[in-house]
Amino acid sequence: MSSRANIYIDQNTDFRLTLELFDADGDDLATGTFSFFGDMKKIYSTTKLATFDIAKANNDIIISLTANTTSNLEPGKYEYDVLMRKQSGEISKIVEGLAFVLPTISEVT
């Protein structure tokens, strides 16, 4: 069963979130042998609007979007999830939720 977490993404900025992963016993999960995938959509039945870059670090994964990617997202509510594929081929959803894209007032020149 996946966790549910809402995230907030500022438009026109770099987004980065670290997720600490644990196994069923609450022990750290070594992420080195797993593959991770994550996308954002307006709703589940539409095409994906953004794909998270996912980096592994010990028992953590870091999901991120570049400022260029967030600048192409309209402010509003989206849905996202992150999946994990084990070496055995088993796929699990590790987190899902709403992604709120917030407008940014300042301009970088």
pLDDT digits (tens, 9 = 90+) for 27-80: 556 667 889 999 999 998 899 999 999 999 878 899 999 999 999 999 999 999
Residue pair 3/80 in contact (Cβ under 8 Å)? The answer is no
Q: What is the mean pLDDT of the chain?
A: 90
Q: What pLDDT score was predicted for residue 44? A: 86
Kind of pairing between the strands at 35-41 and 15-20:
unpaired
CATH superfamily, domain at 3-102: Immunoglobulins (2.60.40.10)
Cα–Cα distance between 69 and 99 in angstroms, integer? 14
What values do phi and psi take at 102, rounded to 5? -105, 140
Residue pair 17/97 in contact (Cβ under 8 Å)? The answer is no
Percent of the chain with pLDDT over 70: 90
The owner of tokens 């992604």 is 99
